[in-house]
Chains A and B, each alone.
Chain A
Amino acid sequence: QKEVEQNSGPLSVPEGAIASLNCTYSDRVSQSFFWYRQYSGKSPELIMSIYSNGDKEDGRFTAQLNKASQYVSLLIRDSQPSDSATYLCAVNRVTGGGNKLTFGTGTQLKVEL
């Protein structure tokens, strides 16, 4: 089992719809979870972080965390063509050498006109 799993997609949604991106993780002691957006050929950009169970909203983005189910998701409301990108889920892991992030392989989102 991979440490962080995401559906690679592509996930296609029409403009104005809600895009739902999902991520599961294997390490039960993980404490912090991050969503990064990566445009083709560019570096990842942090868009959301979440640490507690429940929902966290920031503009059109909502992150949802369920630690019991080891599941974190990202909802994008009113999807725009500019949201077309790969979304990377990253999960903190605590090791003897300090805190490190493990990344999923990303879900490609396509927002169609």
Chain B
Amino acid sequence: DGGITQSPKYLFRKEGQNVTLSCEQNLNHDAMYWYRQDPGQGLRLIYYSQIVNDFQKGDIAEGYSVSREKKESFPLTVTSAQKNPTAFYLCASSPGTNSYQPQHFGDGTRLSIL
């Protein structure tokens, strides 16, 4: 089954700890994205990648890091510098960067502070 897989579904972070959220897609999509969603707010773009080994900061990149070593994978690390990490994290992908190509989402990871 083609799709976007995010893991884990729930994640808890201790103070001072870095945590990594996984995102894998088998849709052969070139572009991948990470968003954060807080209650009552829309999705805010953290990082995005249009091709392997290249990625750009989104609107709220501070305290986060990413890598894109493989086309299928785009992991997001929430570092200890992110002081308010509790949120719903969504990974998305699209076939390319053409503006007419919609993004499709994984099921998300909920991150909470212990």
Contact = CB atoms under 8 A, between A and B. Distances in A.
A105 B50 CA distance: 25
Contacts of A42: 107-108
A32 B44 CA distance: 18
A99 B43 contact: no
Interface stretch (A12-20, A43-51, A57-65, A67-75): A43-51
Given A31-B99, A94-B99, A98-B56, A44 B105 contact: yes
A113 B56 CA distance: 46
Interface residues of B, number: 24
Given A98-B56, A100-B45, A43 B99 contact: no
B41 interface: yes
Contacts of B63: none
A46 B104 contact: yes
Give the size category of A's interface with B: 20 to 34
Interface of B: 31, 35, 40-45, 48, 50, 56, 58, 90, 97-100, 102-108
Interface of A: 4, 8, 31-32, 34, 42-46, 49, 51, 88, 90, 92, 94, 97-101, 103-106
